Structure 1
Amino acid sequence: MARGSLDAAQQKAYSLLEEMIAQGPQIVIESSTPTDEQGGATEITEKILESINQIGPMSQSRFSVIECSETTDALDLLLDAIQITKRSNESILVFVEGASSARSTLRILKAKNASLEILDLSQKHSQKSLATNGLRADLIIATPESIHRQLLPEQFSLYRIIQRISSLWIFDMVEFRGLLGSNLFHILKRFELAAKDLGRDISLVGVGIELGDADRFACELFDCGGDQLAKIYLPPDRPGSISIGFIDPNIEVDPSSALTIASKLARLGWQGNLKTAVITSSRLKAELISNFIIESSSNIPAEDLVLYRGGYLGELRVELEERLLVDRVKIAVATSALARDLTRFDLVVLVGFPGTIARFRRDFQRISKAGGMIVLVASADQLDRWITRNPHEIITRKNEGAAINPFNKSVCHHQLIAASSERSITASSYLRGENGIREVTDSLEQLVAQSTLIKTPLGYQYVGSRQPTRNYGLRGYISRKYRMITTTGEVLEEINEDQIPTSAFIGAVYRHRRARFRIVAIDDDNSFIFVEKTEDQIYTKALIESNYQFSKMRLLTSPSLGLWIGVADLFVTETHLGYETYSEAGALLGIQRNRLPSKELDTEAFFISFSDDATSDIETELLPGALHAMEHCAIGILPIVSICDRWDVGGVSFVASPGSANGLDLDEISGAVAIYDGYAGGVGISYATYEAQATLMASTLETLVNCPCTTGCPSCIVSPKCGNNNEPLSKRGALELTRLVADSLAGKRNLKGS
């Protein structure tokens, strides 16, 4: 969208926006390819021919990775591949992260080729409907759950569908990091075994959209070597330019200022007839922003605004997605997890940085129209402030890489049970090479010892009577969902059971579509949460007590005397003790005690431990706060070195007492800081953190040094998810400890003075 083509209202709106961000840094991302006016636009026919030529390497290898910066580029290549497979009456199966992604992908593909026969497996189908539609589909779109729970368990009656599939495509790979990707590794294995029994060798194609080390990640996901992987690169084709501005609100004076500024920007866009998307990190913030927009401007019609977030029932979600396609909608307020379903907005307002450089490039540049504008309104956390001080990193920093751990004990156990219920397996028939043989063999033998499997001459076989895939969640929570119901019988939305201790406990205030509801009762037998509407201007925060025990230290290194860094197993116990009630202004109104059953997590952690000598310059009374503050700041910065959200990890810091170091069996330990995977068994984040320890600690130190506060604030050491109410904290002590670690890792410091 060239600025010269705008009407007067739009020109004025952009001018006002530029005035608002004039005090902060700005970036312009220029065109990636020449425009028509410059005489070099690529013709559509040439692009199609180029795409078809790209399929050549894929046909020579069973494993391929496509690196690109736009989803549509990879979809064009997929459409070309479909034209080839149709000639032999074959189909392609595409994995997407969730049902909303499935619907979005289906809409884009249908718009490009209305004659395509597409089966959306993310929706429920009867056995008869699935068998009929699957046999004529050119393309099958599926989530991991739909293959795990529906197609593979019924493979013997649906074998003709599997027999037609020539290749599996993963769109896009970064969404399959962590636990979901660890499970997908095994689902691909199970699908390959099913196809092999039918005489098919399935090809695997990974699509990496703005993903660092996409080829390495594809090799991990596909269980193949780099020499077996065909690599395809699609250069970006994004004409025009996108302006990026930064607003750093005065969070210290007004904690809600980021939300009010975002709502002001949305109103300004609406007045200037600019299609505007406001993206934030949480459901609650999305609810608050939409409230601010409507309440502060009575002349914005309700049909002009769509609030689009997770948790809504399927029918409502589909209705909102259809509304977003109508030009009448001028403002979309959405959570970042759903932002990939939005397209081509004149103005995109990000309330808080979206976590990673890769996510920013992939999602938010795609949302914006060429010639449009992105405004980042910094929130109070460490990463946002680091980005506003280092805006050039958006262009110059390499995309972060993703991590999985398919041999996580919990994942391995559940997936091997599922695989052995479908056919007899052995470690060597299950895996392609030696990687993971020991872990898979150990898991199989442990399952035999538990009488879950038996060992036969053909391999290991499941002996249970229940379908093993039904109640296993692929994303870190069990599949049980609770429905939230009002006192009048209206069903509001669904939430997962593991959200109850933190946000849906009895007494909690919960927001739904700009209204407040108080949770009054929970029916565990029927999976119902009963709520009643409230006008109270309050919010609630859960009180959680945590206990930690380390074991099995590994990768232990000592960059300087008195400092130990490594990875260890960690057992975490969390107990909901009650909740606090706050006014909208943030004043504590009261504390309610209400203990719930404890949750346990057996995972992995990256840790840094200090000896007495290392901490000798820090006053004894400041040490607990120094360790705690260093932990908070490092977690806040972690997404710049590993594709994860701060909610994917947890943290712990402690001062060791004589004879007790929470299981860290090291001599003369005075204290430690640890960052752990928030998923059972670990999903690779701790190992990725260990590999990037020098970068992480250097960036943590930079954040502490450059933050202008004296005693600590949300931009450096205060964490929104701290279970100890951010007590104790010592910024001065954290600076000393972090500098010690960062300098030691950079080779600048030895505690004994050399």
Structure 2
Amino acid sequence: VKEDLQTLCFTGSRKMAELVTLWAREDARLSSALLADSISVYRAGFLPEERRAIERQLKDGSMKGVVSTNALELGIDIGSLDAVLISGYPGTMMSTRQQAGRAGRKGGDALAILVAQGNPLDQYFMHHPGRFFSRSHEHAIIDPKNPYILSGHLLCAAAELPLNEETDRQYFGNLIEEHLHDLQSNDLLRKTSRGWVYSGRGRAAEAVSLDGMPGEAFRILCHGKLLETMDRGQVYREAHKGAIMLHQGETYVVNEMDLETHTIRVTETSVDYYTQPLKEVDLAILETLETKEFNGMKCAFGDVEVTEHFTGYKIKRRDTIIGIEPLLLPPLTFRTRAFWFVPPPQVEQSVNAADHDLAGGLHGAEHAIIALMPLHVMCDRWDVGGLSSSSFGNTGEPVIFVYDAYEGGIGLAEKAYEILPNLLTSAYELVRDCPCEDGCPSCIHSPKCGNDNQPLDKEATIHILKKICCETKKSGPASIHPVSEPASS
């Protein structure tokens, strides 16, 4: 920006977009206040008029620098830029190329730089650049039978043209009539002589959540002025009472969180710390759809129910915890799909014999597997969640779960289940080859861990994954057993 190159910086999260904007403005202000004012942030949650204004300024060249989430990746005409910075591998080659392609659309010289972060996937590519540059684009994974996804499509389709349950069955499947009546009972659709039409308030698209957690929109207010909107999941993570949140490069503290009126009240503040939520996850297996074995290791895929308990939040200054405060919030519960596996008994025995921490090893393996899922499945690590336990449920067996972080599931865990040996091998090589001693953000530490990355044991993680990978290679192809339907009485 100082060299008069119109620049777009992509980041992986809303909070990071706000932070990079804040830092860039502070640095630019040392040279020119005018230059600092020509740097802005762009992300979901802003009011429509705010987003349109930034888009116009980008297109006419008056905005010299913008920090954005993937909200500016495609679908919006912002003209041609001189340079693009990609802060961290976006998770897919498709996104990487799309973001890089925002620069140079006028046909002249342009610059695109990928700045790797310390997470496992970024570091994997930094150590294997040939694999990065030779990768082709991915194939999208989606489960069109997911009732939550299907309902959203029906809602938006009815807002454009009336739907007919008979003629439109070819597009939406045999469950279309059931979903139409469900939407009608929620006052979102009504049946007319022309067909089913949208009857909800506001735009239909605004009633559809894209982050996997359907729910009401919460309004973020500062002295009565609407700053932005968030869904319940985002509010629990970013706008709970006491949270420090960022908006347009400015810092706010959350003073009040009203779950009945869906209102969050904030005030401006100036602090040198930030907040990070603490979360505990419970998981229940609802139905096992398929099982398979790797020479004694039991693996399964099926429907699960996930319950997230937000128990408190950390107050941090850089990497130092300066306080922990409790939270009392209703749990978030959703049904989704997962794969899980139980290491063979000899793995647990050998870990204990080596005086390693079994729970820390399973937790580390869970993090490594999730971190490298985007290497094998078109997803982001934030699209999936995980749970590990050294003694799960009534069986008391050690187990690792990986689930879709979307209501109903979207096929990510299912695809990973299909290629589980390759995924486990990648995870093992990642942790084994990391030069750190006790675990770090490049191998088994996770930025999304609700347990503050505790417990973790790198040696136990290597031990578990090595044993599993060696055994699965010896055993050859897995034997797959679809679970039969229960006999009717």
Equivalent residue runs for 1:392-471 within 5 Å: 392-411=130-149, 425=165, 430-432=168-170, 440=175, 444=178
Partner of 1:345, secondary structure, is coil
Q: 1:580 touches 1:592 (CA, 8 Å); kept in 2?
A: yes
Q: Deviations over 1:406-452 (max 9, x none)?
A: 212444577779999966636xx65449x965xx39x949979x999
Map of 2:68 onto structure 1: 334
Could you tell me which of 488, 512, 515 is aligned with 2:247? 512
2:251 alignment partner AA = R
Q: Tell me, in whole angstroms, the C-alpha distance in 1 between the residues paired with 2:180 and 2:109.
A: 59
Equivalent residue runs for 1:172-187 within 5 Å: none
CA deviation after TM superposition for structure 1 residue 324, in Å: 0.6
Is 1:293 equivalent to 2:27 in the alignment? no
Partner of 2:41, secondary structure, is strand
Is 1:643 equivalent to 2:383 in the alignment? no
Q: Tell me, in whole angstroms, the C-alpha distance in 2 between the residues paired with 1:415 and 1:295.
A: 43
Aligned CA distance change for structure 1 residues 491 and 425 (closer, same or farther; 3 Å)? closer
2:122 alignment partner AA = D
Partner of 2:309, secondary structure, is strand
Q: Tell me, in whole angstroms, the C-alpha distance in 2 between the residues paired with 1:676 and 1:647.
A: 11
Q: 2:81 touches 2:102 (CA, 8 Å); kept in 1?
A: no
Q: Tell me, in whole angstroms, the C-alpha distance in 1 between the residues paired with 2:202 and 2:85.
A: 44
Identity rate of aligned residues, in percent? 28
Map of 1:685 onto structure 2: 412
Partner of 2:101, secondary structure, is helix
Q: Tell me, in whole angstroms, the C-alpha distance in 1 between the residues paired with 2:111 and 2:474.
A: 42
Q: Which has the higher helix share?
A: 1
Aligned CA distance change for structure 1 residues 474 and 506 (closer, same or farther; 3 Å)? closer
Count of paired positions: 457
Map of 2:390 onto structure 1: 655
CA deviation after TM superposition for structure 1 residue 705, in Å: 2.1
Map of 1:606 onto structure 2: 339
**Normalising by the residue count of structure 2, what TM-score does the alignment of the two structures yield?**
0.83
Aligned CA distance change for structure 1 residues 403 and 657 (closer, same or farther; 3 Å)? closer
Q: Tell me, in whole angstroms, the C-alpha distance in 1 between the residues paired with 2:440 and 2:468.
A: 22
Is 1:529 equivalent to 2:264 in the alignment? yes
Q: 2:358 touches 2:460 (CA, 8 Å); kept in 1?
A: yes
2:95 alignment partner AA = R
1:682 alignment partner AA = G
Aligned CA distance change for structure 1 residues 600 and 524 (closer, same or farther; 3 Å)? closer
Q: Tell me, in whole angstroms, the C-alpha distance in 2 between the residues paired with 1:446 and 1:481.
A: 23
CA deviation after TM superposition for structure 1 residue 677, in Å: 0.6
Aligned CA distance change for structure 1 residues 490 and 658 (closer, same or farther; 3 Å)? closer
Aligned CA distance change for structure 1 residues 723 and 366 (closer, same or farther; 3 Å)? same
Map of 2:3 onto structure 1: 272
1:364 alignment partner AA = A
Q: Tell me, in whole angstroms, the C-alpha distance in 1 between the residues paired with 2:230 and 2:332.
A: 17
Q: Tell me, in whole angstroms, the C-alpha distance in 1 between the residues paired with 2:154 and 2:63.
A: 47
Aligned CA distance change for structure 1 residues 446 and 377 (closer, same or farther; 3 Å)? closer
Q: Tell me, in whole angstroms, the C-alpha distance in 2 between the residues paired with 1:468 and 1:516.
A: 30
Partner of 1:271, secondary structure, is coil
1:314 alignment partner AA = P
Map of 1:545 onto structure 2: 280
Q: 2:26 touches 2:36 (CA, 8 Å); kept in 1?
A: no
Map of 1:730 onto structure 2: 457
2:451 alignment partner AA = N
Map of 2:47 onto structure 1: 313
Aligned CA distance change for structure 1 residues 746 and 368 (closer, same or farther; 3 Å)? farther
Gaps of 5+ in 1: 1-269, 453-460, 662-669
2:46 alignment partner AA = Y
CA deviation after TM superposition for structure 1 residue 377, in Å: 1.9
Map of 2:15 onto structure 1: 284
Q: Tell me, in whole angstroms, the C-alpha distance in 2 between the residues paired with 1:398 and 1:679.
A: 26
CA deviation after TM superposition for structure 1 residue 555, in Å: 3.0
More deviation, 697-706/506-515:
697-706
Q: Deviations over 1:269-314 (max 9, x none)?
A: x333333222111122122222222222422423432322222111
Equivalent residue runs for 1:540-689 within 5 Å: 540-558=275-293, 560-583=294-317, 585-619=318-352, 622-656=357-391, 659-661=394-396, 670-689=397-416
Q: 2:42 touches 2:71 (CA, 8 Å); kept in 1?
A: no
Aligned CA distance change for structure 1 residues 748 and 731 (closer, same or farther; 3 Å)? farther
Map of 2:237 onto structure 1: 502
Q: Deviations over 1:26-66 (max 9, x none)?
A: xxxxxxxxxxxxxxxxxxxxxxxxxxxxxxxxxxxxxxxxx
Q: Tell me, in whole angstroms, the C-alpha distance in 1 between the residues paired with 2:384 and 2:154.
A: 26
Map of 1:385 onto structure 2: 123
Map of 1:221 onto structure 2: none
**Normalising by the residue count of structure 1, what TM-score does the alignment of the two structures yield?**
0.55
Q: Tell me, in whole angstroms, the C-alpha distance in 1 between the residues paired with 2:278 and 2:302.
A: 27
CA deviation after TM superposition for structure 1 residue 521, in Å: 1.2
CA deviation after TM superposition for structure 1 residue 719, in Å: 0.5
Aligned CA distance change for structure 1 residues 638 and 538 (closer, same or farther; 3 Å)? same
Q: Tell me, in whole angstroms, the C-alpha distance in 2 between the residues paired with 1:374 and 1:467.
A: 42
Is 1:355 equivalent to 2:78 in the alignment? no
Equivalent residue runs for 1:703-742 within 5 Å: 703-742=430-469
Aligned CA distance change for structure 1 residues 445 and 523 (closer, same or farther; 3 Å)? closer
Aligned CA distance change for structure 1 residues 631 and 279 (closer, same or farther; 3 Å)? same
Is 1:346 equivalent to 2:113 in the alignment? no
Larger radius of gyration: 1
Q: Deviations over 1:483-522 (max 9, x none)?
A: 22213x3332222233111111111111112221101113
Q: Tell me, in whole angstroms, the C-alpha distance in 2 between the residues paired with 1:279 and 1:523.
A: 33
Q: 1:286 touches 1:334 (CA, 8 Å); kept in 2?
A: yes
